[in-house]
A and B are shown apart, each in its own frame.
Chain A
Amino acid sequence: MSSRLEGVVAPERRERSGAAVFLVWNRRLHYYLGLYLLFFSWLFVFTGLLLNHPGWEFAQFWPNRVQRTTEQQFQMPEATTDVARARDLMQQVGIAGEIQWPGAQPTDGAFAFQVSRPGAVIDVKADLRSNRVMLTRTEVNAWGVMHVLHTFTGMPAAGPRNQRDWILTTAWALSMDAVAAGLIFMVFSSYIMGYRLKAKRAGGTIALALGVVICGAFVAGLGWLMGSRPVEPQITSCPRTIMSPSLKRAVIAWAPSGMTSVTSSSTAVMDGAPSAWAGNTNVTSGMRG
């Protein structure tokens, strides 16, 4: 090739190779990540199925649990914080796991907490006066382990006091993050690869559009399609509750047309059902077992 053309051709060749390199590595990373995350993905997919089908007989674990209680002597921990004290105690009695604090400590002066890990939950109740600790250990089978692995993040819903405090929980949580991030990358890399296949572009677009429409309907559309609308508005005014001017303006702005008058009883709702909003499952209907 003449030297006059080299300066013109070379940048284009570099640009093409840049794009080509990107496409090659996009494809490679798609199946490299897929292969590395394969067993992680299978684990979470299968455990997700188990969680969504608690009635599957072959995967029952709670009726088969083993419970045993032991007592041990311990040396008073010198730590000043509850977490450090609990860790010292756990080390003395040879247990490890994620610490869960109860809503309130026992009234008899005992130091109580729970240690959990996939497959075992240990209730620890230490008498700080007699230096004796009672361990109630509940162990489940492999199916129980699998159930917990899917949700073992160390971040239970109840209370700000319970935070992740075991390094292996952090490792497992990071692996969950990695699997999720890997799957997101694989999805977008598949979009690029699918777009590059011109012969398959139409079919791929239809498949993707179908998935987006169905999934999107559930995520956002159903609230719009199925949102709360009074079928036969029969609304009364309730003289017991006084509505502030700002609240009344907000209610009138929100209320659909056709409503003759609107009561404000949000305070009554909050007083009557704060636990419902907080996700409390202290229910009288629908609890399993």
Chain B
Amino acid sequence: MRRLYLVTRDLHLYVGLFISPFILVFAVSVFYLVHGFAQRPAPGPLDASRTVDNLTVPPDIARMQGRARVNALRPVLDQLGVRGEIDFVRHLASEHRLIVPVRLPDRDTIITLDYDDKTATVTSRGHALADALVYLHKMPGPHNVDVRGNSPLMGAWRVLADATTYLFLFVTLSGIYLWLALKAERRVGLLLLCAGAGTVAGLVYVIAA
């Protein structure tokens, strides 16, 4: 039992320290999300842009939909030197253009692709640390599921976000075991556990009932 306690304590420490930066990302971004600071900012009037022509664009890009179109756009992004997660694709059929927002946690790029003329305009702007944290908190998320994870960045972050939650669950369970080993703290701990459970249950009941 003592060995189990020591191993559990060590794992609780090491796993907790490893995931602590991820916990901080999610926790700090909560304040921005809860208090409405996470609005997507409009671009400033002096954002620089560049236009590139003679691009190689898949011939039937206009007819494609969903993930197929996103995958077909990746080589175009490579020609433009743009990296990141394609948020969505907006097709302006009458203008023969595709609007492609590409996102990194700390950078936003808009590509306006004229697939008939094979030209693209690229405008990019940086984001503050808070915006990066909020973006990572929300990703991958329940929206645009068909296209989400189209970049290596988002594929990796999806795995890390899941890993953080599972490791966090382990840390909580191991923490409960470590607390139970402290006989002197069992009564107070049990009171706090029941108080927390009651608070959650009560709030959820009045909000959702």
Which among A171, A222, A232 is the interface contact of B105 at CB below 8 angstroms?
A: A222
Is B1 among interface residues, defined by CB-CB distance under 8 A?
no
Contact A250 B132 (CB under 8 A): no
Which among B33, B88, B182 is the interface contact of A286 at CB below 8 angstroms?
A: B88
Number of A-B contacts (CB under 8 A): 328
Is A58 among interface residues, defined by CB-CB distance under 8 A?
no
Is B5 among interface residues, defined by CB-CB distance under 8 A?
no
Contact A211 B70 (CB under 8 A): no
Complex interface: chain B residues within 8 A of A197 (CB) = 13
Contact A180 B30 (CB under 8 A): yes
Query: Taking CB as reference atom, which chain A residue is nearest B35?
Result: A155
Contact B204 A31 (CB under 8 A): no
Is A283 among interface residues, defined by CB-CB distance under 8 A?
yes
Contact A214 B90 (CB under 8 A): no
Contact A220 B46 (CB under 8 A): no
Is A83 among interface residues, defined by CB-CB distance under 8 A?
no
Which among A227, A232, A279, A286 is the interface contact of B67 at CB below 8 angstroms?
A: A286
Q: How far is the CA of A204 from the CA of B20 in the complex (A)?
A: 11
Which among A155, A218, A236, A272 is the interface contact of B95 at CB below 8 angstroms?
A: A272
Contact B27 A184 (CB under 8 A): yes
Knowing A54-B145, A272-B112, the reply to whether A211 touches B18 (Cβ < 8 A) is yes
- Most chain-B Cβ atoms within 10 A of its Cβ — which of A118, A208, A222, A285? A285
Query: Taking CB as reference atom, which chain B residue is nearest A152?
Result: B207
Give the interface size bracket for A toward B.
Answer: 35 or more
Contact A207 B40 (CB under 8 A): no
Is A145 among interface residues, defined by CB-CB distance under 8 A?
yes
| B168-205 at interface with A (beta carbon < 8 Å) | 168-169, 172, 175-176, 178-179, 182, 185, 188-189, 192-193, 195-197, 199-201, 203-204
Complex interface: chain A residues within 8 A of B91 (CB) = 284-285
Complex interface: chain B residues within 8 A of A37 (CB) = 196
Contact A39 B196 (CB under 8 A): yes
Give the interface size bracket for B toward A.
Answer: 35 or more
Contact A226 B46 (CB under 8 A): no
Complex interface: chain B residues within 8 A of A31 (CB) = 175, 178-179, 182, 185, 189
Contact A117 B66 (CB under 8 A): no
Which among B40, B78, B90, B158 is the interface contact of A283 at CB below 8 angstroms?
A: B90
Knowing A207-B17, A283-B88, the reply to whether A266 touches B47 (Cβ < 8 A) is yes
Contact B89 A286 (CB under 8 A): yes
Q: How far is the CA of A228 from the CA of B71 in the complex (A)?
A: 18
Query: Taking CB as reference atom, which chain A residue is nearest B22?
Result: A215
| A166-182 at interface with B (beta carbon < 8 Å) | 168-169, 171-173, 175-177, 179-181
Contact A275 B204 (CB under 8 A): no
Q: How far is the CA of A226 from the CA of B162 in the complex (A)?
A: 23
Query: Taking CB as reference atom, which chain B residue is nearest A215?
Result: B21
Contact B122 A228 (CB under 8 A): yes
Beta-carbon contacts of B61-98 to A below 8 Å, as 1s and 0s?
Answer: 00011110110000000111111100011111001010
**Chain B min CB distance to A198 (Å):** 13
**Chain B min CB distance to A227 (Å):** 6
Contact A265 B51 (CB under 8 A): yes
Is A36 among interface residues, defined by CB-CB distance under 8 A?
yes
Is A35 among interface residues, defined by CB-CB distance under 8 A?
yes
Which stretch, A4-12, A42-50, A68-76, touches the partner chain B? A42-50
Contact B81 A40 (CB under 8 A): no
Is A288 among interface residues, defined by CB-CB distance under 8 A?
yes
Knowing A211-B22, A228-B80, A234-B53, the reply to whether A277 touches B88 (Cβ < 8 A) is no
Contact B196 A279 (CB under 8 A): no
Knowing A39-B200, A155-B34, A231-B78, the reply to whether A180 touches B84 (Cβ < 8 A) is no
Q: How far is the CA of A284 from the CA of B17 in the complex (A)?
A: 43
29 contacts across the A-B interface (CB closer than 8 A): A31-B178, A35-B193, A36-B193, A40-B200, A49-B162, A54-B145, A117-B207, A173-B35, A177-B34, A179-B27, A187-B23, A193-B13, A200-B10, A200-B14, A208-B21, A223-B105, A228-B109, A231-B79, A233-B52, A235-B53, A236-B51, A251-B49, A266-B46, A277-B42, A277-B43, A277-B110, A278-B42, A285-B90, A288-B143
A residues contacting B by CB (< 8 A) are 28, 31-32, 34-43, 45, 48-49, 51-52, 54-55, 117-119, 145, 147, 149, 152-153, 155, 157, 163, 168-169, 171-173, 175-177, 179-181, 183-184, 187, 190-191, 193-194, 197, 200, 203-204, 207-208, 210-212, 214-216, 218-220, 222-223, 226-236, 238, 246-247, 250-251, 254-255, 259, 262-266, 268-270, 272-279, 281-288
